[in-house]
Structure 1
Amino acid sequence: MDQTDREILGYSRYVVLAAAFSAMFIISPFEYAWSSMSGHIGAIYGWSPEQVALMFTTFIIFQSVGMLPGGMLRDKYGPRWTTAIAGLFSGVGILSIALGPSYPLVLVLWSVGSFFTGFIYNNAVTTGNKWFADKRGVMTGLIAGAFSWGSLPFIFPIRAIPASAPPETFFTVVYIMAAIIGGVSIVAALLMKDPPSGWKPTGWVPKTKAIARPSEHNYTVSEALKTGQMWVLIVSFVLVSSAGLAGMSNMVAYSNSFHFTATAATAAAGGIALANGFGKLTLGTLSQRLGVENTMILSYIVSGLFLFLTIYAGMNRSEWLFVCAAILAIFFWASLFSLFPIAIGHYFGEAAAGGNYGVLYAIAKGSGGLYGGILSTMLITQHGFPFAITIAGVMAIVAGLILIPLKYSPPIWKDEEAAAQLNARAAVGRR
């Protein structure tokens, strides 16, 4: 007899959802408060723009690499210990910002913390695949959205710190972030647990083609990597993550390059954090109606077009258009962090969802971070923001276009494909 979530856990699966949401929420400042923190870091320690940009790049790379072992350990041992231990190391990572001026020391500790945020991210976001096959889009989008919203309590206090304030003012915010990351991750970990492999809500049957999986086989990591569809997803992820990271990590400086007011830069930074989260939730939910492929194609192409619009707005000195275009570009771009894990669960099943999404994320976002971080900064220094953002817009559009074939050729397990061919031949023979 199938067990309910309460019989497995002793409480509702929505408690696990809340725990995963909280764990994701607290690691948000590493990425989404970066454009607000980076100026203070450079000014306090006298580090060059390239040194500061390298910290963002190392976060992207190490967090991405951490996704793979984090996912594989979660699939094997469950999410509790991996989340708790990773939370403590992540807290040390954010604390390292206050331990300068030794750049090598800060960079090493920051990189270690960044690596373990990948564990937390994977453990949290794949909860949507494991516990919510019936609501995969909305729940994965909600958890992914937490990674954006968690920066909001810190963006505005950091932006409000005047340039004349002593370093301790900024460091106080850093200490608070570190304590919250360590404490909340332990509490969240105690409530996180995975269901048995293949578990589905009692009585649930997919009602639409958009939700129904193309194959019932649960792919291992090695099996998924042998499919062409996985590599199309990887290339698309590389392109679209590069595009958005280039704009997001430099948004305050991008706004300032057009001599817009500080209010415009703050509105863009804060609006991006909100739009980022709601983009993941809204488009993740929409994918249950439109299908995950259609939603990805639409989102990434539209994101690229709005990136082009930020250039037009800047050159025409329109602050309100710049802020709106930047927010909408990130709204559609951010969906990649809910749509790709949804696609992984949809195509390859939930049993190894942590490992499969981990390998996709590790390869793709790690590579995307190279352009979104240090390479885009170098291009901006040499050729200006419009040139770098134009390249980003093209990347986003191409990322959407290359997904079109997946609509017509999803991965089908070889045994199921052979059975379908036999059935088709038998049907022809009966005519």
Structure 2
Amino acid sequence: MLGAQERRNKTDKEILGYSRYLVVIAAFFAMFVISPFEYTWSTMAGHIAAMYGWTHEEVALMFTLFVVAQSIGMLPGGMLRDRFGPRWTTAIGGLFSGLGIASIAMGPSYPLVLTFWTLGSFFTGFIYNNAITTGNKWFPDHRGKITGVIAGAFSWGSLPFIFYIRSISQSSDGSAFISTIYVIAIVMAIVPIVAAFVMTDPPKGWSPPGWSPKQTSVVRPSTHQYTMSEALRTWQMWALIVSFVLISGAGLAGMSKIVAYSDSFGFAAAAATAAAGGISVANGFGKLLLGTASERFGHENTMIGSFVLSGVFLLGTVVAGNLGSDVAFVICAIAGIFFWASLFALFPIIIGHYFGGASAGGNYGALYAIAKGLGGLYGGILSAILIHHQGFSYGITVAGLMAIVAGLIIVPLRAAPPVWRGAEQTPNLERRLGQPAE
């Protein structure tokens, strides 16, 4: 049995018996299969309402419960994976996630559907945290790219189903739709179990032999490994939380209702399908490309630019819709979600960058649980109520302004990132010797 120090000096293949890239592939597909909960929602919602005769608000509550439950699940999922590793939490998460999506077939009992839907949503948080954090821990040298790829999987997994579900007539008896739900549920349960056999963490403090933190263009402002309680005592963590609440709520309001939003302007069905499919593709590439860009241009700069541009393009969908331009509407919707999606790569990156890797699962889980849960309240049920009474243009305008404010909140962090001021360290030394999270 190798000692801890000995293991830290080994290559990934010597530790695992296989390449760390195989761990990333496993994390990618575990994340990929839970995508339909969120990114196929705007396509599924109409079928659910038509089959069971549920109101717009009742269906919107399902989306809100997913966002809130998944967000809450991120915290215990992160804490458990930091302590025990990602394997068994990923496998259990897969089983319950599959049950959650299968609950759609349990109607017309609304309470029964909500119960199992919420349970499954909670455990998707386990998988999400495990996948993102595992990639972060194995790739301190390529954090932006790897985090972007894994986060992108949460968008791309919906693509195989969006176009098929859109082709099903909402006047049908629902059997074709339910068959698709069963297929998704089976895949969602099996893939994480298989992935769990490969997913594991590197030794604490591990980095690729021969690689130095100085080789990255973005160094940590502090060498300290913050615990969750230490991170939550910094004002920077709470600035990130407020920004996350605003930007997540803004994008979820538009994305979860994109089909109905397009229909509200009288656009052809093709426009809604193009918007739904396009935002899934753009969502994934936004995470990948902007996560990678942050390593060159700075995490804070990339967040500010991305969130502000997301807000501008969300406002652009309102202008395009009112002018009757379906092409401009689809372009603005896709661009808005492209820049919005970066939050799911940039926030875990900056959490590791600011607070270290030792408690990365718990720290990101705390941020996600608080912030996306609250953002989901607006993105789901509150925006549905607002749109019901004031119309889509009003609701999406509010969302666009929220995104712009989310970007501006990050501005002070460029000049004042968190720096640990323990007795054994000085800020100047930390800035000179700063290193990325493990």
Do structure 1's residue 42 and structure 2's residue 56 form an aligned pair? Answer: no
Q: Give the corresponding residue for 1:429.
A: none
Q: Give the corresponding residue for 1:375.
A: 382
CA deviation after TM superposition for structure 1 residue 211, in Å: 2.2
- Aligned mates of 1:11, 1:51 — CA distance in 2: 48
- Aligned mates of 2:214, 2:430 — CA distance in 1: 24
- Partner SS, residue 213 of structure 1: coil
Do structure 1's residue 407 and structure 2's residue 411 form an aligned pair? Answer: no
Superposition TM-score, scaled by structure 1 size: 0.96
Query: Does structure 2 conserve the Cα–Cα contact (< 8 Å) formed by 1:240 and 1:399?
Result: yes
Query: Which residue of the other structure, out of 101, 108, 114, is the alignment partner of 1:101?
Result: 108
4+ runs of 1 displaced by more than 6 Å? 421-424
CA deviation after TM superposition for structure 1 residue 422, in Å: 9.6
Q: Give the corresponding residue for 1:7.
A: 14
Do structure 1's residue 19 and structure 2's residue 26 form an aligned pair? Answer: yes
Q: Give the corresponding residue for 1:171.
A: 178
Query: Does structure 1 conserve the Cα–Cα contact (< 8 Å) formed by 2:13 and 2:20?
Result: yes
Q: Give the corresponding residue for 2:88.
A: 81
Do structure 1's residue 222 and structure 2's residue 229 form an aligned pair? Answer: yes
Distance 1:201 1:421, change over 3 A: closer
CA deviation after TM superposition for structure 1 residue 8, in Å: 1.4
CA deviation after TM superposition for structure 1 residue 165, in Å: 2.1
| 1:71 maps to amino acid | G
1:285-309 superposed Cα distances (whole Å, 9 cap, x missing partner) = 0001001000000000000000111
CA deviation after TM superposition for structure 1 residue 198, in Å: 1.4
CA deviation after TM superposition for structure 1 residue 210, in Å: 4.2
Do structure 1's residue 392 and structure 2's residue 399 form an aligned pair? Answer: yes
Say which is worse superposed, 4-13 or 16-25, in terms of deviation: 4-13
1:134-191 superposed Cα distances (whole Å, 9 cap, x missing partner) = 0000000000000000000000110000123221110000000000011101000110
- Partner SS, residue 325 of structure 1: helix
Query: Which residue of the other structure, out of 64, 68, 72, is the alignment partner of 1:61?
Result: 68
CA deviation after TM superposition for structure 1 residue 254, in Å: 0.4
- Aligned mates of 1:355, 1:421 — CA distance in 2: 28
CA deviation after TM superposition for structure 1 residue 115, in Å: 0.1
- Aligned mates of 1:385, 1:72 — CA distance in 2: 39
CA deviation after TM superposition for structure 1 residue 225, in Å: 0.4
CA deviation after TM superposition for structure 1 residue 320, in Å: 0.4
Q: Give the corresponding residue for 1:428.
A: none
Query: Which residue of the other structure, out of 284, 293, 306, is the alignment partner of 2:313?
Result: 306
CA deviation after TM superposition for structure 1 residue 213, in Å: 0.9
- Partner SS, residue 422 of structure 2: helix
* Residue pairs, 1:270-281, within 5 angstroms: 270-281=277-288
Query: Does structure 1 conserve the Cα–Cα contact (< 8 Å) formed by 2:159 and 2:280?
Result: yes
Query: Which residue of the other structure, out of 162, 166, 170, is the alignment partner of 2:169?
Result: 162
Distance 1:422 1:294, change over 3 A: closer
| 2:130 maps to amino acid | N
Q: Give the corresponding residue for 2:435.
A: none
Query: Does structure 2 conserve the Cα–Cα contact (< 8 Å) formed by 1:66 and 1:117?
Result: yes
- Aligned mates of 1:359, 1:176 — CA distance in 2: 32
Query: Does structure 2 conserve the Cα–Cα contact (< 8 Å) formed by 1:215 and 1:416?
Result: no
- Partner SS, residue 126 of structure 1: helix
1:326-360 superposed Cα distances (whole Å, 9 cap, x missing partner) = 00000000000000000001001111110000000
| 2:355 maps to amino acid | F
- Aligned mates of 1:285, 1:104 — CA distance in 2: 43
- Aligned mates of 1:226, 1:202 — CA distance in 2: 34
Cα RMSD (Å): 1.4
Query: Which residue of the other structure, out of 129, 134, 138, is the alignment partner of 2:141?
Result: 134
Q: Which runs of 5+ in 2 are unaligned?
A: 1-5, 432-438
Query: Does structure 2 conserve the Cα–Cα contact (< 8 Å) formed by 1:210 and 1:292?
Result: no
Query: Does structure 2 conserve the Cα–Cα contact (< 8 Å) formed by 1:127 and 1:140?
Result: no
Superposition TM-score, scaled by structure 2 size: 0.95
Distance 1:385 1:417, change over 3 A: farther
Say which is worse superposed, 54-63 or 409-418, in terms of deviation: 409-418
* Residue pairs, 1:200-239, within 5 angstroms: 200-207=207-214, 210-239=217-246
1:403-427 superposed Cα distances (whole Å, 9 cap, x missing partner) = 0111111111112795347999xxx
CA deviation after TM superposition for structure 1 residue 274, in Å: 0.2
| 1:60 maps to amino acid | V
Do structure 1's residue 343 and structure 2's residue 345 form an aligned pair? Answer: no
- Partner SS, residue 387 of structure 2: helix
Q: Which runs of 5+ in 1 are unaligned?
A: 425-431
1:58-96 superposed Cα distances (whole Å, 9 cap, x missing partner) = 000000000000000000000000000110000000000
Query: Which residue of the other structure, out of 19, 32, 35, is the alignment partner of 1:28?
Result: 35
Distance 1:417 1:324, change over 3 A: farther
Query: Does structure 2 conserve the Cα–Cα contact (< 8 Å) formed by 1:284 and 1:335?
Result: yes
* Residue pairs, 1:235-274, within 5 angstroms: 235-274=242-281
Query: Does structure 2 conserve the Cα–Cα contact (< 8 Å) formed by 1:280 and 1:334?
Result: yes
- Aligned mates of 2:428, 2:155 — CA distance in 1: 45
Distance 1:334 1:5, change over 3 A: same
Aligned length: 424
- Aligned mates of 2:394, 2:327 — CA distance in 1: 21
Percent identity, aligned pairs only, is: 67
- Aligned mates of 1:236, 1:420 — CA distance in 2: 26
